[in-house]
Structures are given as structure tokens and as C-alpha cells.
């Protein structure tokens, strides 16, 4: 069994920053507790609020010497009903209501036949997208309707359960293909702001097809005049995205299993299997996957999670998540730091059990035939296991090699050494990868020596340890790794590596 440092945690933690966690002292405590990625939720807060939080995360991360990535999460096309009386409008099973594009305050009616109430819509094209038989869910699915008729301006619906319409509650239509773009005018304005900030990842909400991801990639490419440094995470929260998952994974740099809206759009009993399938497919593709929403929801008000929540976190880790995420727990909850500490503690405990078994690659992760980097990545895991190496060192310009190694889930820590700061931050999201910033070294021998020194300096290796080192000798082509060596740490490796 591979010897590993007891304090290492392979599964990463994404924490949403909000009013409860924006104070610099709280941000510092979150990083120390185990936050690897700070999520800025653009559904809430001003640009000024996010800019200050981003700057604070960068400053505190640098002071602590702990790399932290920053993820900007776009709001996406959130459908809502309009304004209603403060007390709302109560309806009962079997009632008929009309959803309308008219600019009115919702109210009861008595002169429109069987229609009991008029409910205004903020999204004016919804009647064109919805037809008879479509399910319409209001307020996180607490009120369910069935469309019986529609025209260009109205949708007549039958109420399927008792409930209350309240102002600005969200609308989900899982059975309809909506024409609203995945990237709204607000999102484009937010992207313009994001490009002025030090951001590593953009999360694209309510993705339904790969073309929506490529559109954002094209925009970033045009902005940067070529390749773009910011990477894109697609949030899977629509049934259409589940159906087109393979093409969306291929188009994206990472995936978020956004169980909040997904659990509204598809039956709740389907969510666990859909989650497992998404995670497996991301693992096989070597792309990071975040499991999000309601993992420790009760910790918004309580200092301890429920047993079911602890088990939910554990299952997300056992399923193969690269990262697990807090939302309201850290954004607006009463115990933001405790929530991250709890998540980190559960992860360490579950991983302890995972590491006690003999290493073998996950059954659903297959070697990519003809891919040299993938072959070397697999070989590095097998070699590290058989030689009881203390660390796998992966010098990388693009991050691809480290991610390729990580998909095989080695018990041996992966030390990614990169000269690129944004690649360092992006690799923070990948399972079992610990990225270090290095000086750019062109010669393979110098790079190997420098990398081993960094492993010793950072506590991943000590004298007489065996370490596995990957490298590329194809004229420094990014993403091309074709060399694997085994080094034994000697006294010379205790010298300081070259400075950045």
C-alpha cells in the first residue's frame, strides 16, 4: 500500500462567497479550513461586491501560500413569475389559472369562465414555447401545473396540488425546449466584468447543448485574440442537458452536477443515478466534476450536519467527484467555516477507507488507445503503486498531464509543477492534484531535478524516497507527455529549487 501524508485530502472543496463569508477574516478561516475554490455567484451581489471578494481571496491566498481558484458562476436564464399581492394567491387542486405576458399584478378573476387567477410572466416568450401537456413547476417545484392550452400571450393551466403563488418565484418547465438563450444579456454584461478580474473558471448555467458552450468559448477566444486562459464549467440542471451529456462534456472543461434545479426538472428518485452517471463519464473523460447543492444544507442554521447529509457528502466522494460544493452554507449561513471544516473532515475520513484498499483504476476509466500522454499517465500510477513511490511529479504547461493522471485516481499524491499561475489555480479543482508554481525550465534534466527538489521542499518526499516523474521531450509541445522516470531522493535534492 502506498504511503501518503496523513494530512492530504484528495477531494476538493468549492465554497460560495456571500454576505456570511465576505469578511477577510472569514475568508482566511475558510481557506485554512479547506476551501480550494472560491465561487462568486452572479445571481446575487454587485460587481463591486464580487471584485472586492476576488481581490481579498487573491491577497489572503498569497499571504498564506495556499493556491485558491476563483470560479465565476453566471446566473443564466432564470424564469420567474411577476408581481402578486404580498400574501400571494392561494389555489387548490383542479383550479384553472392563466399565465400571461400582460404587465399586470396577479389577481383573482371572476369573469373569465373557469379561470380563477391571472399570473404575470417575466419571460414573454414562454407561451410560445409551452404546449398542452407540458408540466410547469413554480417555486422549486412546490406548486405543479399542467398546461391545457396556449397561444402567443397566455398559457392556461390546471393546478395539480394545493399551494400559493408568490411574487418572483422561479419557473421550471422540464418537458419543453425553451427558446431563451443560455447566456442572457445580464450574463454577457457579467462576462465583460469577469474579463477584467483575476478569474480561473466560468460556470455556465442551464446549459442544454454543446453549441451554447462553444459560443462562450468563441467569445473568449476573440477577446484574447487566440487561446483563452479561462476555462468553462457547464452546469447540468436540465433534462435536455442530461440527454446530450456526452457532447456537453466534450465541449466543456469541467462539469457541475447542479442538483438544485436538476432535482426539480427530473423526478427526485432519478437524481442519484443521474449523478453517478455524470460523475463516471467526467472521470472517464479526465475532466473535473463538482457535485453541488444541499450537501450540508442544515448547516445554514445548525453547527452539525444531519446523518443523511454526512452520508450524501460521503456518497458524492465515493461516486468519484473531484470536488464538492457549499452554497448557502457558506454564502449566507450561520456557520460558514464550520461547514467547510465538516466537509473536509468527512472527505478525509472517507478517503482513508478508499486508500486502505489495493490501488486499481476505476472500472469506468479506460486507457485511451493511441494517446501517448494517457499511456504515460496510467503507467505513472501503476509504477508509483508497485514501487511504493511517495509522489508522482507532473511538470505541466497546460495542466493536461496532471488531469490525465488524476482520472486514474492513484493513491499516490500528484504534484503538478507549472510555470503558469492560472494553470496552477485551475488544477486546484482536480482530485488528488497539488499544484506548485515553478520557474520555466526548458531542459528536461533541469526540469526533473527542479521538480524533485520542489517535492522535497513541500514535504511530499524525503531522502531515499522513490518518486515518479513525467516529462515531455517533444520540443516542449504543451500537453505532450512522453517520458516517465523514477528518481531516488538524495542529499542533492534537499537544496533549494530555482526561484520563480
**Active site amino acids:** 39, 80, 235, 293
Residues whose CB falls within 8 Å of the CB of residue 467, separated by 6 or more in sequence, listed in order: 389, 390, 391, 392, 393, 452, 455, 460, 461, 486, 487, 488, 489
CB-CB neighbours of 207 under 10 Å:
30
CB-CB neighbours of 466 under 10 Å:
16
In whole angstroms, what is the distance from residue 419 CA to residue 410 CA? Answer: 24
Residues whose CB falls within 8 Å of the CB of residue 366, separated by 6 or more in sequence, listed in order: 284
HSE on the CB side for 475, CA within 13 Å? 0
DSSP-assigned beta bridge partners for residue 13 = 324
- The DSSP H or E segment spanning 234 is strand 231-236
Per-residue HEC secondary structure of 52-100 comes to: HHHHHHHHHHHHHCCCCEEEEECCCCCEEECCCCCCCEEECCCCEEEEE
Cell representation of residue 141? 417545484
3-state helix, strand, coil in the chain (%, to 5): 35, 20, 40
Contact 21, 330 (CB under 8 A): yes
CB-CB neighbours of 58 under 10 Å:
16
- Rounded to 5 degrees, what angle do the CA atoms 78, 80, 85 make? 155
Amino acid at each position: 500500500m502506498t504511503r501518503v501524508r496523513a494530512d492530504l485530502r484528495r477531494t476538493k472543496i468549492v465554497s460560495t462567497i456571500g454576505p456570511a463569508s465576505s469578511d477577510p477574516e472569514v475568508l482566511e478561516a475558510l481557506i485554512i479550513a479547506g476551501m480550494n475554490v472560491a465561487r462568486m455567484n452572479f445571481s446575487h451581489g454587485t460587481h463591486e461586491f464580487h471584485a472586492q471578494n476576488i481581490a481579498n481571496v487573491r491577497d489572503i491566498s498569497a499571504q498564506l501560500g495556499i493556491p485558491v481558484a476563483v470560479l465565476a458562476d453566471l446566473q443564466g436564464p432564470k424564469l420567474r413569475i411577476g408581481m402578486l399581492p404580498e400574501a400571494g394567491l392561494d389555489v387548490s387542486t383542479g383550479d384553472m389559472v392563466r399565465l400571461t405576458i400582460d404587465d399586470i399584478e396577479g389577481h383573482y378573476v371572476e369573469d373569465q369562465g373557469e379561470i380563477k387567477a391571472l399570473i404575470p410572466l417575466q419571460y414573454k416568450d414562454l407561451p410560445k414555447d409551452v404546449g398542452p401537456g407540458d408540466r410547469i413547476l413554480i417555486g422549486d417545484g412546490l406548486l405543479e401545473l399542467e398546461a391545457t392550452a396556449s397561444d402567443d400571450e397566455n398559457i392556461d393551466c390546471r393546478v395539480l396540488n394545493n399551494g400559493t403563488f408568490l411574487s418572483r418565484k422561479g419557473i421550471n418547465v422540464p418537458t419543453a425546449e425553451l427558446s431563451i438563450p443560455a447566456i442572457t444579456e445580464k450574463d454577457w454584461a457579467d462576462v465583460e466584468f469577469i474579463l477584467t478580474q483575476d478569474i480561473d473558471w466560468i460556470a455556465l448555467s442551464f446549459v442544454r447543448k454543446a453549441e451554447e458552450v462553444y459560443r462562450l468559448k468563441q467569445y473568449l477566444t476573440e477577446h484574447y485574440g487566440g487561446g483563452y486562459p479561462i476555462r468553462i464549467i457547464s452546469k447540468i440542471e436540465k433534462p435536455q442537458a442530461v440527454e446530450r451529456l456526452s457532447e456537453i462534456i466534450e465541449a466543456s472543461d469541467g462539469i457541475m452536477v447542479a442538483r438544485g434545479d436538476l432535482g426539480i426538472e427530473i423526478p427526485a428518485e432519478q437524481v442519484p443515478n443521474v449523478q453517478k452517471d455524470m460523475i463516471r463519464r467526467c472521470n472517464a473523460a479526465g475532466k473535473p466534476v463538482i457535485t453541488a447543492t444541499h450537501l450540508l444544507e442544515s448547516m445554514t442554521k445548525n453547527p452539525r450536519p444531519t446523518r443523511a447529509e454526512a452520508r450524501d457528502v460521503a456518497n458524492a466522494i465515493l461516486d468519484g467527484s473531484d470536488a464538492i460544493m457549499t452554497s448557502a452554507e457558506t454564502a449566507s449561513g450561520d456557520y460558514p467555516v464550520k461547514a467547510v471544516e465538516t466537509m473536509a473532515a468527512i472527505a478525509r475520513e472517507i478517503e482513508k477507507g478508499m486508500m486502505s484498499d489495493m490501488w486499481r483504476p476505476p472500472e469506468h476509466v479506460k486507457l485511451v488507445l493511441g494517446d501517448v500522454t494517457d499511456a504515460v499517465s496510467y503507467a505513472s500510477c501503476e509504477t508509483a503503486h508497485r514501487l511504493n513511490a511517495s509522489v508522482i511529479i507532473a511538470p505541466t504547461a497546460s495542466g493536461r498531464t496532471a488531469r490525465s493522471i488524476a482520472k486514474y485516481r492513484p493513491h499516490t499524491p500528484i504534484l503538478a509543477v507549472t510555470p503558469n499561475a492560472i494553470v496552477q489555480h485551475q488544477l486546484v479543482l482536480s482530485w488528488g492534484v497539488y499544484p506548485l508554481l515553478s520557474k520555466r525550465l526548458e531542459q528536461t534534466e533541469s526540469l526533473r531535478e527542479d521538480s524533485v527538489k520542489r517535492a522535497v521542499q513541500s514535504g511530499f518526499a524525503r531522502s531515499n524516497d522513490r518518486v515518479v516523474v513525467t516529462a515531455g521531450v517533444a520540443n516542449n509541445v504543451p500537453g505532450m507527455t512522453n517520458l516517465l522516470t523514477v528518481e531516488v531522493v538524495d542529499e542533492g535534492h534537499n537544496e533549494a529549487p530555482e526561484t520563480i
